[in-house]
Amino acid sequence: MSGLVESAISTSVTALTSLDRQLCERVFEYEDRINIMEIEIDDMATRLLALQQPMASDLRFLTSAIKINNDLERMGDLAVKIAKRALDLMDLPPVKPLVDIPEMARLAESMLHKCLDSFVRRDSALAREVLVSDDGVDDTRVEIFRVLIRAMQAEPANIPQYVDLMSVARSLERIADHATNIAEDVLFLTEGIDVRHHAETRKS
């Protein structure tokens, strides 16, 4: 499932940068498969909880899996949102710069890859790297908004396109947030400590 989510996200970003309609369709297909897997995994985890009555670390593993499953499914939804904005952009006059969006996408994809790796390998150091990266993504998003607002003011006719690009930046930020949630679950799983809410800031 995480392989599918990674493919959905990277395909949606390529669909956006290359304005490729077929790639958007592929994202929608990925999402259908992700949705089916989410339900299967959820059923499986719930059934294991019921039948095996697991204790301690097994129980923690299963409740983490239920949460991570949910985060992954929502990342699939966000890939679909990006693909839809790519489709919108294909119907509008082209605008030049995608500003820092490809860079932001690379950051978010690397966070996703690391948090999934940290889950599979129970690697808490790697999970911590994800928590640190999240600030970089947030800063990039704020900078992208600044650039896009200036572009809107310079070319009011192209505001709809820039609104689409804002929406893409927002989706990438949320993908990074879900990766952060997963990294927090991994830390809870590996170290038994709850890091939720501790690193939260109210800056943006």
Residues that bind its own copies in the complex, under the rule CB under 8 A: 28, 35, 38-39, 46, 49-50, 53, 55-56, 59-60, 63, 66-67, 70, 80, 84, 145, 149, 152-153, 156-157, 159-160, 163, 166, 170, 194, 196-197, 200, 202, 204
Closest C-alpha to 175, from 104, 119, 123, 120 = 104
User: Is 114 or 174 the residue whose CB approaches its own copies more closely?
Assistant: 174
How many whole angstroms separate alpha carbon 68 and alpha carbon 83? 23
How many whole angstroms separate alpha carbon 198 and alpha carbon 151? 36
User: Is 61 or 136 the residue whose CB approaches its own copies more closely?
Assistant: 61
User: Is 96 or 202 the residue whose CB approaches its own copies more closely?
Assistant: 202
Joined together, the tokens standing for residue 30 give: 């990925």
Closest approach, Cβ 53 to its own copies, in A, equals: 5
Closest approach, Cβ 89 to its own copies, in A, equals: 14
Contact 166, 148 (CB under 8 A): yes
User: Is 25 or 129 the residue whose CB approaches its own copies more closely?
Assistant: 25
- Find the length of the chain: 204
Q: How far is CA 9 from the centre of its chain?
A: 7
Closest approach, Cβ 140 to its own copies, in A, equals: 17
Closest approach, Cβ 73 to its own copies, in A, equals: 9
User: Is 15 or 126 the residue whose CB approaches its own copies more closely?
Assistant: 15
Closest C-alpha to 118, from 191, 33, 46 = 191
Q: How far is CA 137 from the centre of its chain?
A: 11
